[in-house]
Structure 1
Amino acid sequence: MKETYILLYDGECGFCNFWVNWVMQNDREGIFNFASLQGNFGQNFLTDKKLSLTTFNTLYLIRPDGRVDEKSDAVIKICSLLGGWNKLAVVFKIFPKFLRHKIYDLVAKNRRKLASGNCPLPTKEQRKMFID
């Protein structure tokens, strides 16, 4: 049985939805499932972790063993799991976490400006990868 990872994201953000679509297109092994932070699964996750239920500016990756990566750590882990050229993202680990997270926070702060406004809807097949 293959291990699955859960990517939690801001479901109301075009930039975040673009990112989720990109992961789906590059997930050749089918190891990712997705849940918006606004949905039941996401809200339960935030409650369990004692995090804000209304702030959705952080990407979380729940590993099969229950560990959670967030922000730039989640992006790097996702890219490494996707394989191919995406694995090169691990080179960013040479930078200190505080600096990587600072850059992540800057992008997150401006993510709505970065979104083109066009947010493609997932296909019927892709919707099977969503938890709620």
Structure 2
Amino acid sequence: MSIVDKVRELCGTKKITIAELERSLGLGAGTVSRWDTRIPGIDKVQKVADYFQVSTDYLLGRTETPYYALTEKDEPSIQADLERLIEDLDGLKYSKETEEFSEETKELLIASLEQAVRIAKMEAKRKYTPKKYRGES
């Protein structure tokens, strides 16, 4: 995937056009599109990376994941958080109708909690990781 494709994809996630991005960053019209045929200046690449809060390595294709993507190192803390949440749910063994949760309901609830913990972890990494640790070149 080219740098222009990645920028286009990131623009889609923010629901903006490339032209809007260029205006926001003070880049000339068509600057990003020309990156398909010309090598962009690092200052411009850095502006785009900062805007989307991703690493320059991600934009340049050196890594396939933004700096805030989950890694194997995150798994132990995700599992620990999930276990704590499940333990806290032991007090909620019964639904409103005072029937015990079915095994299927328990599994669905745990899967939902795990997904929520993963999303929260990614958002925390995206929001709170200092620039010097974002894997930028």
Pick the TM interval, shorter chain: under 0.3
Give 1 or 2: higher helix fraction: 2
Greater strand share, structure number: 1
| More relative contact order, 1 or 2 (CA 8 Å, 6+ apart) | 1
- TM-score under structure 2 normalisation? 0.27
